Structure 1
Amino acid sequence: MMNLDHYKSTIQKSGFAVINNIFSEEEIEKIGQVIENIDTSKEAFRKSEDLFAIRQFLKEVPEVQDLIFNDNIQKIIAEVFGEKYFVVKSIYFDKPEKSNWYVAYHQDLTISVDKKAELPGFGPWTTKQNQFAVQPPLDILENIFTIRIHLDDTDENNGALKVIPNSHLKGIYRPETIDWSVETETICNVEKGGIMIMKPLLLHGSNRTTNGKKRRVIHIEFSDRQLPKQLKWSENMN
């Protein structure tokens, strides 16, 4: 398999890396078939003309777990993240072909937890569909890795992520303060069956789809940290 030391150092330095050929065509087809056959009326599902999303994806669609955690993904988690990392969040996104949905530059500053608890360093809080999210202390965010599995070829014409390299090293970085005289933008093209690994504090966004091609992504976050005893990760899966 590929030299993972290279990707590990790239992620530490730049905040992201793209690795193609992680899933075979057959594996991607099987994952797609499972998603097509699920009951989309559940509360955790969000469906509109511009977006179809499934929160707590691995919990809501357990049939995909064995397909997603193939040998390649398990090796990447162990060697790039660390042996003690576990799933703490999973979402499935589908930007349909005609979607005009776009995402402005932001950092992923919240984690999903089981309930609301007043704790020093945790806040502000939000609640969506009975799911609790909170901004935790910075050290928890700095320790998270995200894997984005691409079920379609994705480039700048159908919503590939655009990122600001190295921005994950600058703490809380408000998008309105981006200094474009020193920062650069990178478009993260990913092939079908490839993945993008990123740090949540990396400033990232995406443009509208202009080429009429869909973009389906499975977003999974990993941590090796236990939360204070009053809180639990809303998803916790080894």
Structure 2
Amino acid sequence: MNYSNKINSEGFEIIDNVYSDFEINQIISFIDQKTSQEQSISTFRKSKELFAIRQFHKEIPKVLPHIFNQNLINIIHATFGKDYFITKSIYFDKPEKSNWFVAYHQDLTISVDKKIEVDNFENWTLKQNQYAVQPPKDILEKNFTIRIHLDKTTKENGALKVLNKSHKNGIVRVENIEFKNETETICEVEKGGIMIMKPLLFHASNKTTNNERRRVIHIEFSNKKLPNELEWSEKINLLNL
């Protein structure tokens, strides 16, 4: 099914039943195996509020064929086409008693392999030996993100909340938003479901209040070639999985 109309209009879509319970348990087993063996990897971030794995698909490559089941491949191809590739992935584990929250923001950076002077690429950072940079708006507008939910996600355990249609306004400073004029949606997703969103959509999440765990795999996609000698540092072609 093609979900492009809703995504282009509202900036997001929620799709349930992309994975069976068996498939979700397989994915979780790969993650648990990796995290039980190694705790000091630079891409791991662990605290009582949050556990995260950056460069997730590079750290646990064996999980990718299980993530990209036929359901997900069909959704991507029908909605966006066959020329998109992975550009970034992060695994989030928000524990049962987490007080960690994220304020409203847009996802404005991409992961690249080096720092070089490129017109309209700005706000460079370096984390875990990987460069990130804010590219021109036209790259961000073409990208999309898929969030795979390994647990049922509700407003009580930190489901994303979004400002509908806010991706249409380009890059905006959050202090310039008139929140009273915005439509907010809390994006509750069943276990085994996904959320697709545009990076310029304003999104946030609240603290956990119901003592229920929330695990999400966040994967970003693009079909854009970067200029000069700049390359996507986490690029993997879906055809190679």
User: How high is the TM-score relative to the length of structure 1?
Assistant: 0.97
| Larger CA deviation: 62-71 vs 170-179 | 170-179
- Which structure features the higher share of helix residues? 2
Q: Deviations over 1:162-182 (max 9, x none)?
A: 000000000012211111232
| Larger CA deviation: 174-183 vs 75-84 | 174-183
> Corresponding residue for 1:12?
8
Q: Please, which runs of 5 or more residues in structure 2 have no aligned partner?
A: none
> Corresponding residue for 1:90?
89
The answer to whether the 8 A contact 2:118-2:228 is kept is no
What CA distance in whole angstroms lies between the structure 1 residues aligned with 2:90 and 2:179? 31
Q: State the AA in 2 paired with 1:222.
A: F
Q: Deviations over 1:84-138 (max 9, x none)?
A: 0000001100001111000000000000001111111000111112111000000
Aligned to 1:40, the other structure's residue is in SS state coil
> Corresponding residue for 1:56?
55
> Corresponding residue for 1:34?
30
What value does the CA root-mean-square deviation take over the aligned residues?
0.8
| Larger CA deviation: 180-189 vs 159-168 | 180-189
Q: State the AA in 2 paired with 1:215.
A: R
> Corresponding residue for 1:71?
70
User: How high is the TM-score relative to the length of structure 2?
Assistant: 0.95
Q: State the AA in 1 paired with 2:228.
A: K
> Corresponding residue for 1:120?
119
What CA distance in whole angstroms lies between the structure 2 residues aligned with 1:192 and 1:80? 22
> Corresponding residue for 1:155?
154
Number of residue pairs aligned between Structure 1 and Structure 2: 234
The answer to whether the 8 A contact 1:145-1:221 is kept is yes
The answer to whether the 8 A contact 1:167-1:173 is kept is no
The answer to whether the 8 A contact 2:160-2:204 is kept is yes
